[in-house]
C-alpha cells in the first residue's frame, strides 16, 4: 500500500520568484491565441469605464439644478433620461464583455487540459510509475479549476479596475487639482498594504495546492485498494495517514485564507481615509466658492470609484496568486520530458517473422542499483522462449525492454535485424501481442474491449476470438451478451473473466510475436487446460515469450531462460536443464517436491 514515489516535505518558499515570472509568461502564451477577443474585451472595458464615470457628472449637474435657484424640472428630467440611457449602454457593454471574458477563460482552460492529457499519453512509463495517478488527476482537474477562477476574476475586475483608476484621475483633475493631489498622495498606502499581503499569500496558496494534490492521490489510492485495506485491517493506519495530510492542508488553507481575507479590510481602511480627506478638503472648497455642491458630489463619487478598484484589485491579486500557484503545478506536468520520439529516419517494421536478438543489454530502473547486465539472446522465428526465475530477477523487465516501454542503458535489441531504437514504436508494438498478469479493461461494452486488439474487426471475428479464448460461454450469460456495458477495470467481472477477455484480444489480433506474462494466473485449472491448448494453436509459427512462475506450463518450451539477479544463469530446454542439476532443477523440485 505504499505510494510509488517518496515525497519530500514541501518548502513553500522554494523557487517562488522564478516560478511566478515564468508561469505568467506561459499563461500569456496561451492567451495570445485569443488576442482578438482579448482586444475587444479591453475596448468594451474602456467603454464601460468611460460611461460609468460620466454618470457622476450628470448627477452633479442635477444637484446644481436643485441647490442653486429654483428647481428646473424639465432639465432634471432630461438629465435623468441621459443617465438611464448611459446606464443601459453600460450594462450592455458589461454583458458582452462578460461573455468574451468567459469565452477566453474557458478556451484557455480547454487548451491546457487538452495539452495536459496529450502530455500524459506521451510521457515515458518511468514518470507514470513514479507518480501517483491521483496526484496527476488533481493537477488536471482541481488545479485547472482554481486557475480558471483566478483568470476569470482577473479579466472581469483587473483591467476594468485599472481603467477606472486612470479614468477617475482624469475626471478629478478636471474638477479640482488640489483635492486630486490628496487622493493620489494617500493611494500608495493601499498599494503597499496589498503588495505586502500578496507576497505572503502566494507561498501559502502554493503549499495548499501541493498538499491538495497529495490528499487526492491518497484518496484515489485507498479507493482503488479498499479491499486490501480491509483484508489487512489497515483502516486505522490509513485514517492516520489521511488525518496527517488533512491537517497539513487545513493549516496551509487557513494561512492562505487568513492572508487573503485581511487584504480587503486593510485596503478599505486606507480608502476610508482617502474618502474622508476628499470630504474634508472639498467642504472647504465649496464654502470658499471654488467648487459647487454638485461638483463636490461628483468628486466624492469619483474618489469612491477611484479607491474601490484598489479593493477589487487587491482581491483579484489574491485570487491570481492562487491561480498562478495552481498553474505552476500544471505547467510542471506539461514540461515533463516526453517519451523519446521516433527518429526521423525510423523504419516501419513489416513482414515480421520473429527474429529477436539481444546483444550485451544492460538496464536498471535505479541507476545506482544494477539489475540486468550483459543480456545476450538469439531467438529464431517460431521459437517458444520461457523466462523463469525468482521474483525481482528481471523477467518482466525484459518484456518492458522488448516492447520499448523502457530504453536499454547499454547494448542493443534487434528485431528482424533492425535496432528497435531505429524502428517506429507503433510498428514495433503492433508486432507484439501481450497478455499480462495485470488485466486492464475500459468502460464500455464487452465487444469494444475485445476490439482493442483489432479496431476494425467484425462482430463475427470478435465472437470467433472469444470462442478461441473460451470466453464466449460466460459472455453469453451476461445481461446483453457482447453488448453488455462494464465499468472501469471490468466492474462486475471476476479476475479470471477479465483475463479471458484480454486473451480474446490477442486471439483477435493474431500478432507475429506473442508475450504471455503469467497469462493464466487468474484462471481455474480446468479452463487453463483449454486455454493452453488454444495458446498452443496460436503459438504455432509465432515467436513467443512466456514469463511463468508455474514451471508446469513451460515444459514444452523450445528454450528456457533461467534468470537470477538480472542475469541469465542457465539456458536450454526442460530436459537439458534438469540434467544440469543447477538452479532450474532446484526451482522445479521446489514446486513438485510432493510428487
The confidence band for 92, taking pLDDT boundaries of 50, 70 and 90, is very high
Average pLDDT value for residue range 277-296: 72
Q: Give residue 463's pLDDT band: very low, low, confident or very high (50, 70, 90).
A: very high
Same fold, 16-334 and 441-510: no
Q: What value does the mean pLDDT of the chain take?
A: 80
- Assign domain 441-510 to its CATH architecture: 3-Layer(aba) Sandwich (3.40)
Mean local confidence (pLDDT), 440-462: 87
Instruction: Compute the average pLDDT of residues 542-570.
Output: 82
Query: Across residues 328-348, what is the average pLDDT?
Result: 85
Q: Which three cell numbers stand for residue 82?
A: 441621459
pLDDT at 460: 92
pLDDT tens for residues 143-186? 888 888 777 777 667 777 777 777 777 777 777 777 777 777 77
pLDDT, position 315: 64
Instruction: Give SS3 for 358.
Output: strand
> What is the pLDDT confidence band of residue 492, given thresholds at 50, 70 and 90?
confident
* The C-alpha cell that represents 566 in the structure block: 538480472
CA 452/CA 441 separation, integer angstroms: 10
What is the structure's pLDDT at 413? 92
Three-state DSSP class for 22? Answer: helix
pLDDT at residue 491 greater than cutoff 60: yes
| pLDDT-above-70 percentage for the chain | 88
Give the mean pLDDT of 270-280. 73
Looking at residues 534-542, what average pLDDT do you find?
78
Q: Identify whether the C-beta of residue 435 lies closer than 8 Å to the C-beta of residue 506.
A: yes
Contact between residue 245 and residue 214 where contact means Cβ atoms under 8 Å apart: yes
Query: Residue 16's pLDDT is what?
Result: 44
Least confident of 28-32, 255-259, 504-508, 544-548: 255-259
**What average pLDDT does range 78-85 have in this prediction?**
87
**CATH tag, 16-334:** 1.20.1560.10
Interatomic CA distance for residues 203 and 207, integer angstroms: 6
In terms of C-beta density within 10 A (0-12 exposed, 13-18 middle, 19 or more buried), how is residue 566 classed?
buried
How far is 119 from 4, CA to CA, in rounded Å?
Answer: 20
Q: Which of 22-31, 251-260, 299-308, 333-342 has the lowest mean pLDDT?
A: 299-308
pLDDT band at 17 (very low <50, low <70, confident <90, very high): very low
CA-to-CA distance for 364 and 338, rounded, in angstroms? 19
Predicted confidence (pLDDT) per residue in 375-422, tens digit: 888 888 888 888 888 877 878 888 888 888 888 889 999 999 899 999
Helices 144-153 & 73-122 angle (0-180, nearest 10): 150
Distances from the Cα of 414 to the Cα of 281, 355, 503, angstroms: 88, 8, 26
> Is residue 278 over pLDDT 80?
no
What CA–CA distance (Å, rounded) separates 466 from 370? 42
Q: Kindly state the helix (H) or strand (E) to which residue 16 belongs, with its residue range.
A: helix 16-31
Query: How is the chain split among helix, strand and coil, in percent rounded to 5?
Result: 65, 10, 25
| Burial tier of 225 (Cβ tally within 10 Å: 0-12, 13-18, 19+) | middle
**For residue 512, what are the CA distances in angstroms to 321, 356, 416, 507, 519?**
55, 12, 12, 12, 17
Q: Give the residue-averaged pLDDT of 205-223.
A: 80
On the question of pLDDT at 467 being above 50, the answer is: yes
**More reliable by pLDDT, 323 or 4:** 323
Q: What are the domain boundaries of the chain? A: 16-334, 441-510
What is residue 9's predicted lDDT score, i.e. its pLDDT?
Answer: 42
Question: Average pLDDT, stretch 334-338?
Answer: 85
pLDDT for position 15 = 44
Residue 355: strand, helix, or coil:
coil
Amino acid at each position: 500500500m505504499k505510494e510509488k514515489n517518496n515525497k519530500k516535505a514541501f518548502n513553500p518558499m522554494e523557487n517562488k520568484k522564478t516560478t511566478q515570472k515564468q508561469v505568467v509568461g506561459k499563461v500569456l502564451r496561451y492567451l495570445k491565441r485569443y488576442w482578438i477577443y482579448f482586444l475587444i474585451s479591453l475596448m468594451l472595458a474602456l467603454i464601460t469605464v468611460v460611461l460609468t464615470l460620466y454618470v457622476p457628472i450628470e448627477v452633479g449637474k442635477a444637484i446644481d439644478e436643485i441647490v442653486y435657484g429654483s428647481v428646473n424640472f424639465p432639465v432634471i428630467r432630461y438629465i435623468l433620461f441621459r443617465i438611464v440611457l448611459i446606464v443601459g449602454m453600460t450594462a450592455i457593454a458589461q454583458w458582452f464583455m462578460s461573455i468574451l471574458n468567459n469565452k477566453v477563460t474557458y478556451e484557455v482552460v480547454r487548451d491546457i487540459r487538452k495539452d495536459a492529457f496529450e502530455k500524459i499519453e506521451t510521457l515515458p512509463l518511468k514518470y507514470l510509475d513514479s507518480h501517483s495517478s491521483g496526484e496527476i488527476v488533481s493537477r488536471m482537474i482541481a488545479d485547472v479549476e482554481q486557475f480558471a477562477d483566478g483568470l476569470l476574476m482577473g479579466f472581469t475586475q483587473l483591467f476594468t479596475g485599472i481603467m477606472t483608476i486612470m479614468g477617475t484621475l482624469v475626471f478629478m483633475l478636471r474638477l479640482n487639482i488640489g483635492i486630486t493631489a490628496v487622493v493620489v498622495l494617500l493611494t500608495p498606502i493601499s498599494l503597499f498594504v496589498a503588495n505586502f499581503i500578496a507576497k505572503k499569500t502566494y507561498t501559502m496558496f502554493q503549499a495548499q495546492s501541493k498538499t491538495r494534490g497529495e490528499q487526492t492521490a491518497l484518496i484515489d489510492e485507498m479507493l482503488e485498494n479498499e479491499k486490501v485495506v480491509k483484508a489487512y485491517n489497515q483502516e486505522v493506519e490509513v485514517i492516520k495517514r489521511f488525518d496527517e495530510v488533512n491537517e497539513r492542508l487545513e493549516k496551509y488553507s487557513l494561512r492562505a485564507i487568513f492572508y487573503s481575507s485581511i487584504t480587503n479590510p486593510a485596503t478599505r481602511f486606507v480608502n476610508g481615509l482617502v474618502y474622508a480627506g476628499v470630504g474634508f478638503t472639498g467642504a472647504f472648497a465649496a464654502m470658499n466658492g471654488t467648487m459647487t455642491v454638485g461638483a463636490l458630489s461628483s468628486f466624492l463619487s469619483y474618489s469612491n470609484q477611484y479607491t474601490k478598484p484598489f479593493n477589487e484589485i487587491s482581491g483579484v491579486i489574491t485570487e491570481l496568486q492562487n491561480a498562478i500557484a495552481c498553474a505552476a503545478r500544471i505547467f510542471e506536468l506539461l514540461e515533463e520530458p516526453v517519451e523519446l520520439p521516433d527518429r526521423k529516419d525510423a523504419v516501419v517494421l513489416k513482414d515480421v517473422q520473429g527474429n529477436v536478438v539481444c546483444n550485451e543489454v544492460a538496464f536498471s530502473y535505479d541507476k545506482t542499483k544494477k539489475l540486468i547486465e550483459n543480456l545476450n539472446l538469439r531467438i529464431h522465428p517460431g521459437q517458444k522462449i520461457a523466462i523463469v526465475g525468482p521474483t525481482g530477477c528481471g523477467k518482466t523487465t525484459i518484456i518492458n525492454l522488448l516492447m520499448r516501454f523502457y530504453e536499454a542503458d547499454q547494448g542493443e535489441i534487434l528485431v528482424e535485424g533492425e535496432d528497435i531504437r531505429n524502428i517506429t514504436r507503433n510498428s514495433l508494438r503492433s508486432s507484439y501481442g501481450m497478455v499480462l498478469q495485470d488485466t486492464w479493461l475500459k468502460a464500455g461494452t464487452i465487444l469494444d474491449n475485445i476490439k482493442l486488439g483489432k479496431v476494425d474487426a467484425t462482430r463475427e471475428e470478435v465472437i470467433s476470438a472469444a470462442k478461441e479464448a473460451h470466453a464466449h460461454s460466460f459472455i453469453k450469460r451476461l445481461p446483453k451478451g457482447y453488448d453488455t456495458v462494464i465499468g472501469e477495470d471490468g466492474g462486475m467481472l471476476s479476475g479470471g473473466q477479465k483475463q479471458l477477455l484480454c486473451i480474446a484480444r490477442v486471439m483477435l489480433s493474431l500478432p507475429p510475436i506473442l508475450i504471455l506474462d503469467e497469462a493464466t494466473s487468474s484462471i481455474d485449472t480446468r479452463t487453463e487446460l483449454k486455454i493452453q491448448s488454444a495458446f498452443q494453436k496460436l503459438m504455432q509459427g509465432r515467436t513467443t515469450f512466456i514469463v511463468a512462475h508455474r514451471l508446469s506450463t513451460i515444459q514444452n518450451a523450445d528454450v528456457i531462460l533461467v534468470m537470477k539477479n538480472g542475469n541469465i544463469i542457465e539456458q536450454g530446454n526442460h530436459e537439458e536443464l534438469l540434467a544440469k542439476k543447477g538452479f532450474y532443477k532446484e526451482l522445479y523440485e521446489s514446486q513438485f517436491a510432493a510428487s
